[in-house]
Amino acid sequence: MNYRHAFHAGNFADVVKHIALVRILTYLHEKPAAFRVIDTHAGAGLYDLTSSEAERGGEWRTGIARIMQARFSDQVMALVAPYLDIVRAFNPHRDLTAYPGSPLVTRALLRPQDRLVACELEPNTRRKLIDALYNDKQARVVDLDGWTALPAFVPPNERRGLVLIDPPFESRDEFTRLADGFSVAHAKWPTGIYMLWYPAKDRRATDSLADHVARVANAGSRDARCLRIEFSVAPQTAESGLMSAGLLIVNPPWTLAEDMRAILHEVEKPLGLGGAGRFRVEALRA
């Protein structure tokens, strides 16, 4: 699978991923101590929804565009409002013309004591990310392969924070690299929060990844330290584009499972294609 993000920015997978990201960062705000976010495959930072790539894909129209128009209960609106406010900040004239990637979503929620390390190897994409974070003293853009950076930057000096691993899935062995990279990083920093994104097109590959991550995360513990979240806008087939995507979150905030169940229950209908979408949120044990 070749997941060139300029074609898919703002789609359902971005919406679910970034809502979860915002919930985690909001949780980290509950303690005054500084935290660090390490984004291993950061991307361009900001995506132009009027570009030829975005227009060609058009996935944002059934993703973030629908969510911006959706009606939520008071409970869920309180949970998703910080995410929606970040998107609106990049679209001051109300029309949706831009969508922030994970580095800019993260940057919007950094306090003065917090830091971001964003890794991006592809030169053109990295230049765009540098422009998006120009002269930002709290955000560092690193010219380094994400798989090399993953073990190199943990544990951070702050000892609190999140590692976001969101590779492009351009190579056949990406699931293996994701599992191996997480294992090495977790061995060095077992108390960090990890969020792993994956396309859910091959059930055998996704189940194998989830089993591996759960075994590593839960080793020596009776508690489930791995949360699996998947969302599907329509049945996934070999011929269709991306219809299902998932997140594995290690050491999740204790409120995250309940929050995400409430949120995803209310985004099933607006994000669904040809009917309501489907989701699952489950704690994984070894």
- The residues carrying an active-site annotation are 166
Distance CA(22)–CA(140), nearest Å, equals 20
- Give φ, ψ of 245 to 5 degrees: -145, 160
Contact 261, 281 (CB under 8 A): yes
DSSP H/E element including 46: strand 46-48
Contacts of 122 (CB under 8 A, 6+ apart): none
- Give φ, ψ of 256 to 5 degrees: -65, -45
Tally Cβ neighbours within 10 Å of residue 89: 12
Distance CA(48)–CA(7), nearest Å, equals 10
Number of H helices, E strands in the chain: 10, 10
Contact 166, 17 (CB under 8 A): yes
Distance CA(183)–CA(82), nearest Å, equals 32
What sign does the dihedral 7-10-15-20 (CA atoms) show?
Answer: positive
Kindly report whether the peptide bond that precedes residue 112 is cis, defined as omega within 30 degrees of 0.
Answer: no
The percent helix, strand, coil of the chain (3-state, each to 5) is 45, 20, 40
- Amino acid in position 178: L
- The token pair at 166 is 């969101």
